[in-house]
Structure 1
């Protein structure tokens, strides 16, 4: 069964900070999209990243790996918001 599309919406909070709202499935097929989106934001000067998981229905080990890559590739804080029980258990 194919993955549900991952939707990524970006809200700039202030200088150097951004909120990334996610919806759909964060898995093997979609995790690279998130990594690339955050990398682009960091190249544009956003160091603090808030990832809002309010719309995420599934996160697998590839999604977890993407979070590790995002954390290790930046110098600013990475915060997770609105994680559901499945995601908290995975973390």
Structure 2
């Protein structure tokens, strides 16, 4: 997992590589939490999922937590370069609309 400031001063990109599972999901959530705390002006958090080889239920839980944290910080979450297996998981679990929406409805 690596990070860079992204294309704009208010964008952070986090590269997600390998398996996002029970062994690695905490590290990703922690990295995002650190970025949001260090740069409260971040408007867009991009997770680059191109290198993700697997996402299990704990990985999905981590993505949902990250979405809630980014929303609470007033930012937007982008899941870039999603592999087919991640898209399938999001659609099968009914989480695609929430995780991929620009800003979810909180009605």
TM more than 0.5: yes
SS, match of residue 58 in structure 1? strand
Deviation at 1:72, TM superposition (A): 0.5
SS, match of residue 29 in structure 1? coil
Listed as ranges, the gaps of 5+ residues in structure 1 are: 1-7
Asked whether 1:68 is paired with 2:64, we answer yes
Correspondence for 2:24 among 16, 25, 30: 30
Q: Which has the higher strand share?
A: 1
Q: TM-score, normalised by structure 2?
A: 0.74
Which deviates the most, 43-52 or 31-40? 43-52
Distance in 1 between residues matched to 2:43 and 2:67, nearest whole Å = 11
Q: How does 1:26-65 map to 2 (within 5 A)?
A: 26-45=20-39, 46-65=42-61
Aligned length: 84
Deviation at 1:81, TM superposition (A): 0.9
Deviation at 1:16, TM superposition (A): 2.3
SS, match of residue 73 in structure 1? helix
* CA spacing shift, 1:41–1:47, aligned 2, 3 Å: farther
Distance in 2 between residues matched to 1:15 and 1:54, nearest whole Å = 23
Q: TM-score, normalised by structure 1?
A: 0.86
Listed as ranges, the gaps of 5+ residues in structure 2 are: 91-107
Query: Whose radius of gyration is greater, 1 or 2?
Result: 2
Deviation at 1:44, TM superposition (A): 1.0
